């Protein structure tokens, strides 16, 4: 395996638009196992970025995920977003100097039911989320060293593709690190709630438009009635004058 096949993994957490915390993937796994805490994000929904780093500390792939943190700083034990799987199958992202990266985000996720646990990078130019990630990796405060591993390898061999197809159901249900049926149902219901709320809001907006139109028609009818009454009164007065002249 060549140097080009060597990677490092890191996890960054954001506070607003800024990188607030950096850790190795091993340290992130310690968070998931309950052996460490994320106190600065206690009682919040923390926005994180799983980052795959290649030669020259160039960012090769990013998964923008979010994870719940309780009041004691412990992350959600039911977090089952398969970060490595998502980055391997991610679509193209921006070019931050070393070619387009692979990016998995809320609007670009190869496994649709995981999209609810992702977020969308923001900003433009030097202040864009991906650019800030690359700058943090180049500073290398974590002392990242590339290792030769197949865990985060992007390229998929023929055998790998075949195995992927054969185990498609296993990848979706039950295995450690993958979504459980219970979580899938919960995420499906969440997606359904979002869609229902959207359609309800659209319906209410349309109803309001109709009500405004009805009010406008009523006002116009009232105006025409008043105009008609005025003309009728004027016509009666003219008829009275004509009758007087005829006498």
Cα of 247 vs its chain's centroid, Å: 87
Residue 195, pLDDT above cutoff 50 = yes
pLDDT of residue 186: 76
CA nearest 30: which of 91, 89, 73?
A: 73
The lowest-confidence range among 44-58, 68-82, 145-159 is 145-159
pLDDT of residue 153: 58
- Give 76's DSSP letter: P
pTM above 0.75, yes or no: no
Most confident of 138-142, 172-176, 177-181, 222-226: 138-142
Task: Report residue 19: phi and psi, to 5°.
Answer: -75, 115
pLDDT digits (tens, 9 = 90+) for 40-65: 999 999 999 999 999 889 999 999 99
CA nearest 88: which of 183, 163, 191, 145?
A: 163
Residue 155, pLDDT above cutoff 90 = no
Residue 2, pLDDT above cutoff 90 = no
pLDDT confidence band for 211 (50 / 70 / 90): confident
| Backbone CA torsion sign across 156, 49, 67, 187 | negative
Residue 206, pLDDT above cutoff 90 = no
Residues sharing a CB contact under 8 Å with residue 90, sequence separation 6 or more, in sequence order: 61, 62, 63, 102, 103, 104, 108, 110
* Mean confidence (pLDDT) of the chain: 83
pLDDT of residue 165: 47
Cα of 227 vs its chain's centroid, Å: 57
Residue owning tokens 């923390």 = 46
Domain layout of the chain by residue ranges = 3-177, 180-247
Residue 119, pLDDT above cutoff 50 = yes
pLDDT confidence band for 189 (50 / 70 / 90): confident
**92 with 47: CB under 8 angstroms?**
no
Residues sharing a CB contact under 8 Å with residue 177, sequence separation 6 or more, in sequence order: 80, 82
CA nearest 90: which of 63, 117, 70?
A: 63
Q: Concatenate the DSSP letters of all residues of 1-45 into one string.
A: --GGGEEEEEEEEEETTEEEEEEEHHHHHHHHTTSS--GGGTTEE
Q: What percent of the chain has pLDDT over 70?
A: 82
Residue owning tokens 């009010």 = 215
Most confident of 2-16, 127-141, 165-179, 201-215: 127-141
Residue 27, pLDDT above cutoff 80 = yes
pLDDT of residue 96: 84
Residue 1, pLDDT above cutoff 60 = no
pLDDT digits (tens, 9 = 90+) for 97-106: 778 999 999 9
């Amino acid at each position: 395996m060549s140097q080009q096949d060597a990677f490092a993994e890191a996890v960054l957490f954001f506070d607003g638009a800024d990188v607030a915390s950096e850790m190795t993937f091993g340290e992130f796994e310690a968070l998931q196992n309950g052996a460490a805490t994320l106190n600065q994000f206690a009682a919040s929904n923390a926005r994180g970025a799983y980052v795959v780093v290649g030669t020259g500390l160039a960012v090769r792939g990013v998964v923008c995920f979010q994870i719940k943190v309780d009041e004691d700083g412990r992350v959600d034990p039911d977090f089952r977003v398969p970060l490595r799987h998502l980055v391997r199958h991610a679509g193209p992202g921006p070019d931050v100097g070393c070619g387009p990266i692979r990016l998995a985000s809320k609007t670009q996720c190869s496994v649709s039911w995981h999209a609810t646990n992702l977020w969308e990078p923001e900003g433009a130019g030097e202040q864009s989320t991906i650019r800030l990630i690359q700058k943090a990796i180049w500073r290398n405060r974590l002392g990242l060293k590339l290792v030769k591993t197949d865990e985060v390898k992007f390229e998929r061999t023929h055998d790998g593709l075949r195995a992927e197809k054969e185990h498609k159901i296993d990848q979706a249900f039950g295995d450690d690190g993958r979504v459980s049926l219970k979580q899938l149902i919960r995420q499906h219901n969440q997606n359904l709630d979002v869609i229902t709320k959207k359609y309800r809001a659209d319906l209410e907006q349309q109803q309001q438009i109709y009500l405004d139109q009805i009010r406008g028609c009523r006002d116009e009818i009232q105006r025409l009635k008043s105009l008609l009454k005025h003309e009728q009164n004027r016509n009666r007065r003219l008829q009275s004058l004509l009758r007087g002249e005829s006498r």
